[in-house]
Structure 1
Amino acid sequence: MVKPERFEVIFYEEKEVYAPGDEVTGHVDIAVEKEMEMKDIKIKFTGEAHVSWSEEVGDEESNYCRTQTILKQKITAHGQESPEKPNKTYLPPGGHKFPFEFRLPQNLPSTYQDSIGSVRYYVKVRIEKDFRIDDKIYRDVRVSSGLNLNDDQNMREPVAASESAALCCWCCAGAIVGEVRIDRGGYVPGEWIVANVTVTNHSASNVRQSSIELVQIVSYYADGPSTTAEESLAQEIGPVCDAGSSTDLTNVRIEIPADVPTDSVDCDILKVQYAVTVRAVPHFSSYSCSFMIT
């Protein structure tokens, strides 16, 4: 059985990250010492999202999974029938280059990976052989999608959220009111969020600690069930708030990590979102300002 001596996917432009609308161009480099019999050589460019998780319900464990095909493009690079052997072709000895060109559609979700879900893009080359093990190779393509924040006036406007909760215990009855304001509704990775928080304590109990967090919220959707995971990316600790007083966290600067995935668009099974969340102890229901990272 003839195997390739060299089998590689070469990109002409070695981009670390591609954007929707970009072209992915390159060639497949194959070298064989002897003539190789095959059906064809196919080059596929695929984008797919996948989620999978388990949940315990009583004494039983249920497994959920779902896959969404985001894009699929295919070309046959080599595969011409031989008159002597229909549906077969041959690759002569030596080196061979098969060029390819794929254009990324608009509005793609960004590349993403965690323990439950993923969004992945890749070039796959397959040398298909009759009744034999096919030769295959993969090359990942990282995509970062996003909207132009300058095109949406709402993304440039400040965002605010508030929450009020009552403490019902007779010794500390009263309400704790909180408000958080951020300077705009959309950011790009690596930027700074400027947040202002006010906690007003109408109760008879001291708020021992307040905090403001940058939270990533990922939602996963199978066929029916769904689950959500949250991760704190950054946190700033605020002061105490004595009973009957108020406290402010003014112009708190929170840096968005440069490598966070942007908000997911056009993906039915995995959504990535972000929020600035405020918590207090004794805590009321935490309240959040949601925004886009694009």
Structure 2
Amino acid sequence: MNTGFDESPIHSWLTDMDGVLVHEQSALPGAAEFIAELQRCGRPFLVLTNNSIFTPRDLAARLSRAGIELPEESIWTSALATARFLAEQEPGASAYVIGEAGLTSAMHQEGFILSDTDVDFVVLGETRTYSFEAITRAIRLVGQGAKFIATNPDVTGPSAEGPLPATGSVAAMITAATGISPYYVGKPNPLMMRTALNRIGAHSETSVMIGDRMDTDVKSGLEAGMRSILVMTGSTRADQIAQYPYRPTVVLDGIADVVPLVEQLTPGISEELGED
């Protein structure tokens, strides 16, 4: 079958979570089978999310409740990528953090001191309880010279009642008050892809990114040097693809269509597994 990929093998897989593997609290068709196939074939992989609220353990439990089993070590969040990036830039620095457990625990794990005075960084993540007091503190600290970092640029997040303001919206408030824009670490910054690839010892030339959004998943995969698969189970509609100046390598209906590609795009995997 012509997959749309060239002859270069695929050894490692990155995939977005929401809109690819799950929708709200339910697994999308083929999601559990896709993860199981990656594990059966022994392929390195990570599940990525721009959501910085939850820890990998929280997200692994959420996926498990939906019938998708994977270890927490296979989840890479914008919070983890942000903490790792800052640790490489200025290890042992201090930071004022607006966010929830996913971000604060990631910062602690990387050795940061969390404070609300005389800090090196203001780190903004997502939370369901943004407070005026916290935003005011962030504005004053950035104005005093703290470097401004944000986990991701998403301006809204989903909820059962409709969209909620997210990291990008609150960052815009701080920028309007200070004149200083944050450095965003999460998608579409290819930095998040590169840190994910480094985590599993993978190379962009032999890796693929699966996502449901042209403006984050496909863009960041492209800029990180990877091939990409766009699935039609999330944000981007088929009639919107032509609006972008770049293209995914392949467009598929959903993650179920990717399952047979795991073995097919890895030459010699049948022999490795001892299959006839």
TM-score by length of 1: 0.23
Q: Relative contact order (C-alpha < 8 Å, sep 6+): which is higher?
A: 2
Task: Please state which structure has a larger fraction of its residues in helix.
Answer: 2
Structure 2 length-normalised TM: 0.24
Tell me which structure has the larger Cα radius of gyration: 1
Higher strand share: 1
